[in-house]
Homo-oligomer: A and B are copies of this chain.
């Protein structure tokens, strides 16, 4: 039973950041999350407490941060929404990369699974027939 409790937009952002940093460095540090999100170290500590509680990350006291299997799944889900929306903004609407990134960051928290799925299918159908 994967714990499917809903995450706040803020928690989703932290989780997504852990995933992103995992991809390049593998040993994820609080300080890097903080600078990536433009937030204080103390905020990261708090947020990691929430993600640890939800069993989405493993982290020993004063230790490094690792996604659990469940955390990885959730993070992938957030990232997929993000990437999909950003592609829509850039490739369909012609928005510039920076604006698209900013708006995708916010929009990714606003869509329900149904919308994500239909949007995804539509986008790929349109892009494949281009």
Contacts and interface: CB of A to CB of B under 8 A. Distances in A.
Interface in A86-111: 89, 92-96, 99-100, 102-103, 106-107, 109-111
Contact of A110 (B95, B96, B103, B112): B103
Copies assembled:
2
Contacts of A107: 107, 110-111
A118 interface: yes
Contacts of A92: 122
Given A96-B114, A103-B115, 15 more contacts: A92-B122, A93-B115, A93-B118, A95-B115, A99-B112, A100-B115, A102-B112, A103-B110, A103-B112, A106-B109, A106-B110, A106-B111, A107-B110, A109-B110, A110-B110
Interface of A: 89, 92-96, 99-100, 102-103, 106-107, 109-112, 114-115, 118-119, 122
